[in-house]
Amino acid sequence: MVKTDSFRGRDFITLLEYTKEEVETLLEVGLDLKRKFATGEPHKLLDAKTLFMIFYNQSLRTRNSFEAGMTQLGGHAHYLDPDKIYAPALEGDEKAYSTERVSDVARVLARMGHGIAIRCYGDPVGWIYGRANEIIRNFAHWSSIPVINMEDDKYHPCQALADLMTVKEKFGTFKGVKFVMSWAYSPSVHKPLAVPQSAVIAATKMGMETVLAHPKGMELDDEVIKQCKIYAEENESSFDIVNDMDEAFEGADVVYPKAWTCRGNIPPWSAKPDLQKSQILFDKNKHWICDDAKMKIAGPKAKYMHCLPCDRGFEVTNSVIDGPQSIAFDQAENRLHAQKAVMALTMR
Ligand code: CP
């Protein structure tokens, strides 16, 4: 375990900014807090502290796990709807008496509380890839208290940490675990790249045998892919990309099939967002579904993961997500414990 003091005051925007040892520490602390919660042992590490949560997008798991987590740590999580405050905006995107510059919002909240958490991607930033991450980075620049990324257009580090915790619980190790992040069909093209990108970053960072599977045209950010290759090399593990779901599932320990949008139809890869064009590509790939036949290819010991919400009947069949190989609800629960570790260590 690394010195836990090294976390104090730090932002949590992507796992790229945390070492493998620091991620291991977060997981150890999260699992310890999970045990304390289960046995009723008091763990009010953030007594009377406040987390401000700004949600530009909807949420079930993230909002409730942060809110419940802060209560259990002895503090309070305050929900802020950008439509009911003055929506935090970057310079150049401001509208008089309707928005407020991020620099001002960040400095005001930093005088009142102990952490600022933000979710922003997609429509609120016009589907300009990286713009939401820029908002969160700008918050971090101006805030003197930690900024936590609750999912932007590039990363969802809290989800990835919970995913790692779940794999650790089920397999006891990351070494030798074949982890398959796969695209799956959804009728919605509005899902960001954040979850798959954070999942492959996390899996390769921790040394899993990582496979990314998607139809041609559903590639992830080249910078993310480049970093995953570096992590795999450092860990003497593997990182492969395939365009066939069956091939990816062969002998998998973990399969994580979910939809993400087509980067080719959003800026900077295209001049302007054209999500209707993405719909055409999506609809050609309806056979990318995780069903019993796919799980049979993976084998009886394989675990099914999904960050949720899932599109039943499209991304996955009921028989798989409700079946014995599914650990999707353990994963959802671990959002609570993983994030409590992040808050307890950074907001002390
Ligand atoms: N997985 C996840 O982030 O869920 P919510 O969108 O419900 O927060």
Q: What does the alpha-carbon distance between residue 40 and residue 35 come to, in Å, rounded to a whole number?
A: 8
Of 307, 311, 310, the residue nearest 332 (C-alpha): 307
Å from CA of 309 to ligand 1 middle: 7
Q: How many CA atoms lie within 13 A of 188 on its CB side?
A: 13
Q: Beta strands 178-183 and 209-213: pairing type?
A: parallel
- List the chain residues with pLDDT less than 70: none
Å from CA of 60 to ligand 1 middle: 6
In this structure, the residue with its CA closest to atom 7 of ligand 1 is 60
Q: What does the alpha-carbon distance between residue 122 and residue 219 come to, in Å, rounded to a whole number?
A: 17
pTM over 0.75: yes
Over the Cα atoms of the chain, what is R_g? 20
Å from CA of 71 to ligand 1 middle: 19
Q: What does the alpha-carbon distance between residue 319 and residue 300 come to, in Å, rounded to a whole number?
A: 14
Q: What is the pLDDT of residues 41-96, one digit of tens each?
A: 999 999 999 999 999 999 999 999 999 999 999 999 999 999 999 999 999 999 99
Say what the pLDDT of residue 1 is.
Answer: 81
Q: Of all atoms in ligand 1, which is nearest to the CA of residue 150?
A: 3
Q: Is 275 exposed, middle or buried (0-12, 13-18, 19+ CB in 10 A)?
A: middle
Binding pocket residue ranges, ligand 1, CB within 6 Å? 59-62, 151, 159, 307-309
Å from CA of 96 to ligand 1 middle: 32
Domains and CATH numbers, the chain: 4-154+335-346 (3.40.50.1370), 159-332 (3.40.50.1370)
Q: In what order do the strands lie in the sheet with 76-80?
A: 76-80, 50-55, 115-119, 147-149
Which contacts qualify for 16-20: CB closer than 8 Å, 24 or more apart? 16/155, 16/201, 16/227, 20/205, 20/206, 20/207
End-to-end Cα distance, the chain: 18
Q: Rounded to the nearest 10 degrees, what angle do helices 131-142 and 102-110 cross at?
A: 40
Q: What does the alpha-carbon distance between residue 201 and residue 229 come to, in Å, rounded to a whole number?
A: 9
Structure tokens given for 320: 């798989």
In this structure, the residue with its CA closest to atom 3 of ligand 1 is 62
Whether 172 and 199 have beta carbons less than 8 Å apart is answered as no
Say what the pLDDT of residue 50 is.
Answer: 98
Please work out, in degrees rounded to the nearest 5, the angle formed at the alpha carbon of residue 338 by the alpha carbons of 333 and 341.
140
Of 156, 288, 181, the residue nearest 240 (C-alpha): 181
In this structure, the residue with its CA closest to atom 4 of ligand 1 is 61
Residue to mutate (ligand 1; options 161, 307, 321, 330; most atoms within 8 A of CB): 307
What residues pair up with 183 in beta bridges, in sequence order? Answer: 258
* Dihedral-angle region of residue 49 (phi above 0 means left; psi in -120 to 50 means alpha; beta otherwise): beta
Whether 155 and 13 have beta carbons less than 8 Å apart is answered as yes
Of 241, 305, 235, the residue nearest 19 (C-alpha): 235
In this structure, the residue with its CA closest to atom 6 of ligand 1 is 59
Say what the pLDDT of residue 4 is.
Answer: 80
The answer to whether the Cα torsion of 156, 157, 161, 162 is positive or negative is negative
